[in-house]
Every structure is written in structure tokens, then in C-alpha cells.
Structure 1
Amino acid sequence: MPIGWPELTARCERAGIPLRGGFHPGEGDGVPAAGALPAGTLVLLGNAGPSMWRAFSRAREGAPDLALDDWTRTVVSALAAELGATAIFPFTGPPYWPFQRWAQRAEAVYPSPLGILIHPRFGLWHGYRAALVFAERLSLPPREDLPSPCASCVERPCLRACPVSAFSPSGYDVKACIGHLDADPAAECMTRGCQSRRACPVGQEDIYLEEQRRFHMRAFRNAAPPERGRE
């Protein structure tokens, strides 16, 4: 018998990576097969608020150099083996799996003015770390189609908070952002997290811990080629 949604939710919680919704794939969704069988269900796993960070931090107590991607791969691969599913990740590639598109199929998330997906409850403080593909067509809970918070946001504080105006209706100026971080490594963006992201009023009760925000900002800066900030 296929695993039920409550049990699947509980297992993901115990593993430290919360369940983030799911859907039954169609031909145009680009979901890979579940082993030798066609995909019947895809479920997303990730973080919403600081809960996943706490699990990752506990794992790093005895291994301070443990990378988040390595921890994710280990935890989710073990979970997939237990459940008879196939694990896939957004950080393996190229080519990269369309996690942003899958997320919009799985739950009510929408593009924000910053280019990242916004959740009606968690705001900008969430992410997707892995997916499990099942051959079975699991029974999924009804999707809660709440509207995008950005649709009723008139002030758009996220577009005004960046100290170098890297975000605008025309897009994201990566060079300006990286240049600012390089010019002042002790800037608030690096020590407390992106000011534009923190300016969004949605999901303030689920904001990442300050340590978590610093970690992600360092990872973002380290992933960008140095020359991008010097052009």
C-alpha cells in the first residue's frame, strides 16, 4: 500500500527536511522516472522558516565543515531508500531540474519582485532542497490556493530597501549587488541578510535565524565569480 500523506509528512519532519507539497506529474512537467517506472507522484522537500536549519546545525556539531548540499543529499537519499522513491536535487547539473516550476505545481507560491518565489504564509523565507519521485500515485491533500501577497502590496518595500537599488521592475542587477558585498564585507546585507528580502512584511514570524541568513549570504557571494563584482 502506498504511504499516506500524514506518515510521509512525519518521516520528512524526523529527517529534518519538511515536506513542501506534491503533485501528480503530466507529460509536460519534465519529471524523471521513478527507477524503471513512470513517475506517479512528485513531492518537494525543503525549508520553511528556520526548522531545517536547526537540523542541519545539529549535524554540523561534530562536522563543522559539513556542506548543506552534502547533508541534504545524505539525508534525502536515505529517506528515498526507506520509502522506495527516487531522490533528485536542484543543485546537481547542468542540466538542472525545474524546481521553481514544480514548486508552483505543488503549492501556492508565486514569483515576487525579487525574482524568488513568495509563499502566502512564509513570505520569502522558504526554499526547496530536494524532491522524491514515487512510481505510485499517492493520495495528496487538497491544494490551498491562497492568492499572491504581492498582488495586493502597493508599497513594494522590497524594491526600495536595497542600498544599491539592485532590484527594479526591469530585473536584478547582479553586478551592483556583488559589487556592494565586495566593497564592504561587513555590510548589513552580509551580516543580517539581504535587506530587500527582510523588508517584505509577509512571513516575518518565519524569518531565518541570523546565523542562517549569514550562511546563505556567504554561500551566495562565494558562488558568484569574483570578476562579476569588478566589471
Structure 2
Amino acid sequence: MQGVDPGESSILAESGLNMQAVFNLSELAPEMRAAIDAVAATTGYRQLLLFAHGGRRMWQAVAGAGYLSGEHPIDRFSVDTVTRYFDEENPVSRYQLLYPQQPGHLPLQQLGKLAGWHHASPFRIGVNGRWGSWFAYRAVVLADTIFTPTLAMDDPSPCLHCPEKVCLSACPVVSAGSEIPLDACMDERLKWGSLCAGSCLARTACPVMRGECYDDEQIAYHYGLSLVTVRKHREAA
């Protein structure tokens, strides 16, 4: 008995996990399969399911469900949502959550490229024509499902049609070149009073799907977490 396809799931849609991709494990490139095998045993599973969110809907769902009062609200909400999806809409399917629960490194951006979601941008965040840069990977699941594999989104990178590169003009650390230098970016974010501490001027300047931009609360949350990571990285260096 086949369950509800991820693209037709009311649970995923209402929760804001509105980007889904289904891959047959047997059709993945050897290096991708090896990366997955390094995280978990794939024996008995047919498919890999990738879940992401685009736009503001998921944050609204997280806040509305009261998750913001605890630690790791996005991860907890994502795990609970995917669990509900399987328990209620695919109860006969065996599955295993790899991300965000399992330790180890999964090539999320490479999976995003396979789905057609991820194109490199000058500000070092994936971008596509449907959501701009306002999307993020939230869950990866092994399952014994037999869904039809997802066709990759075949839109070209929107950066190819953006000659002005306003993202680079907005960035305070870019003097030359076509990509924001990572070390200079981290240094700038750690400066007292920097406008880059709690946001990214380059990202918010990007004109691609600007209407899907996260609200101020969500931007502050994500960049607050990343700033903690930057500080730890610099202190350990």
C-alpha cells in the first residue's frame, strides 16, 4: 500500500515544509551514495527523501505551535512534522531520519543541487528562481517508499541574469572579485556595531524573490545562531 506522496501531503504543506524531493538510492552517484552510507546503513531502504522550507510559512507554523519557547525549535519542529507525516499519511512505510537527528555530515547542498534548488551565489548562500535565497534544508529521510522520483527543478541560476550584482555592492567587505571573501565576512560580523552581525546586507539586497524574504524575527534568530558559531570558530583559531 502506497502512502501520500510528499508533494500531496497536507501535513507538510501546512507546516511549511513546502519543498520536497524524492531520490531512488540506486540511482544516486557513487560519491553521493558513499556519503549517505557513511552516516547510516541503507539496507532495506529504497529512497532518500529531502525536505526543505521556502519563505516564511514554516517560521509562522513554528511560532504558532509554541516551539520558540524551547531549544532548537526549528529542528524539533522539523522532526515532529516529518514524524507526523509518516505516522499519519504513510503509516506502513519504514523510515529513518538522518538529518537533523543523526550525527555525521550529509551533503545537503549537493542534494539540493540534484533537486535543482541550489545554485551558488556571490554571497555564499544557495539561490533559485522560486524562493531566491530564502529556503533551507530541514530533514533527510531514508524510507522504503516507492514514490515516483522528483524531477529536478530546471530553472537556471538567477545570478546569470543579474548583471548589476547588487548583493556585492551592498556588502561592506567586497572591494573586488565576484564572491564575498569568507574571512573578511566573519571579521566584519564580529565588529562592534556592525550591521552584518544580525543579518546579511548582501543577501537582503538580492532582488530575486524578495517577497519571500524572512521576517525580521526569523532573520535575527538565524543570524544570531550563526554569529555564535563565528565567534567560536575565531576563538578556536
Bin of the TM-score, shorter chain as denominator length? 0.7 to 0.9
Choose the corresponding residue for 2:189, options 168, 172, 181: 181
Q: Does 1:10 align with 2:16?
A: no
Q: Does 1:88 align with 2:98?
A: yes
Given that 1:109 and 1:119 are in contact with CA atoms closer than 8 Å, whether structure 2 keeps it comes out as yes
CA distance in 2, matches of 1:53, 1:189: 22
Displacement of 1:149 in angstroms is 0.7
Query: Which residue of the partner structure matches residue 124 of structure 1?
Result: 133
Query: Which residue of the partner structure matches residue 162 of structure 2?
Result: 153
Given that 2:173 and 2:181 are in contact with CA atoms closer than 8 Å, whether structure 1 keeps it comes out as no
Displacement of 1:120 in angstroms is 1.1
Displacement of 1:209 in angstroms is 0.8
CA distance in 2, matches of 1:166, 1:24: 44
CA distance in 2, matches of 1:167, 1:49: 31
CA distance in 1, matches of 2:102, 2:136: 16
CA distance in 1, matches of 2:7, 2:223: 34
Structure 1: 5+ residue runs without aligned partners? none
Q: Does 1:19 align with 2:19?
A: yes
Q: Does 1:212 align with 2:221?
A: no
Change (3 A) 1:97 1:7: closer
Displacement of 1:77 in angstroms is 3.7
Task: Within 5 Å, give how 1:63-102 maps onto structure 2.
Answer: 64-67=69-72, 68-82=74-88, 83=90, 84=93, 85-89=95-99, 92-93=102-103, 95-102=104-111
Letter in 2 for 1:120: G
Query: Which residue of the partner structure matches residue 44 of structure 2?
Result: 37
Letter in 1 for 2:165: R
**Number of equivalent positions:** 225
Letter in 1 for 2:59: W
Q: Percentage identity across aligned positions?
A: 25
Given that 2:19 and 2:54 are in contact with CA atoms closer than 8 Å, whether structure 1 keeps it comes out as no
- Name the SS for the 2:190 alignment partner: helix
CA distance in 1, matches of 2:222, 2:210: 18
Change (3 A) 1:167 1:36: farther
Displacement of 1:49 in angstroms is 0.6
Deviation per residue, 1:175-219 (Å, 9 max, x gap): x3233233234x43345x210001111011101111111111101
Task: Within 5 Å, give how 1:156-167 maps onto structure 2.
Answer: 156-165=165-174
Structure 2: 5+ residue runs without aligned partners? none
CA distance in 1, matches of 2:176, 2:63: 31
Displacement of 1:87 in angstroms is 1.6
